[in-house]
């Protein structure tokens, strides 16, 4: 990577802004792109966890704090498994495979 001299940064930013406006595009850096992707993935997992908690509450009533914590700390793969398990489970333990 080559560093741009500080004196040229304002000119570079003006040229970049003009190019963005001309082509109606936004410039997003690779770290920003990675951060957005990571944030979206985390948001999906949080949404899956909240949905599973609502389903568990509807099916089994009050959910113990330990189960709630377990769901909120789960991976996407665990949440998917438990979301399928709830369809056949008759107890909360069966959902988690305990």
pLDDT score, position 64: 95
Digit-by-digit pLDDT tens for the chain (98 residues) are: 678 888 878 888 888 888 777 776 567 788 888 888 888 889 999 999 999 999 999 999 999 999 999 999 999 999 999 999 999 999 999 999 86
pLDDT score, position 53: 97
pLDDT score, position 24: 67
Going from the C-alpha of 85 to that of each of 13, 28, 34, 88, the distances in angstroms are 53, 40, 32, 6
pTM of the model: 0.66
Q: Give the span between the Cα atoms of 93 and 77, in whole angstroms.
A: 18
pLDDT score, position 75: 94
Closest CA to 51 of 77, 73, 72: 72
Write down the domain spans for the chain: 28-96
pLDDT score, position 17: 83
Closest CA to 41 of 91, 1, 18, 75: 75
Span 61-70, pLDDT tens digits: 999 999 999 9
Q: Give the span between the Cα atoms of 66 and 92, in whole angstroms.
A: 12
């Amino acid at each position: 990577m080559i560093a741009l001299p500080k004196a040229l940064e304002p000119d570079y930013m003006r040229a970049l802004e003009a190019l963005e406006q001309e082509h109606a595009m936004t410039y997003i850096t690779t770290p920003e792109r990675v951060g957005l992707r990571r944030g979206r993935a985390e948001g999906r997992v949080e949404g899956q966890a909240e949905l599973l908690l609502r389903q568990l509450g509807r099916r089994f009533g009050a959910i113990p704090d330990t189960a709630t914590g377990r769901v909120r700390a789960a991976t996407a793969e665990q949440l998917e498994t438990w979301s399928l398990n709830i369809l056949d489970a008759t107890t909360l333990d069966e959902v988690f495979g305990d």
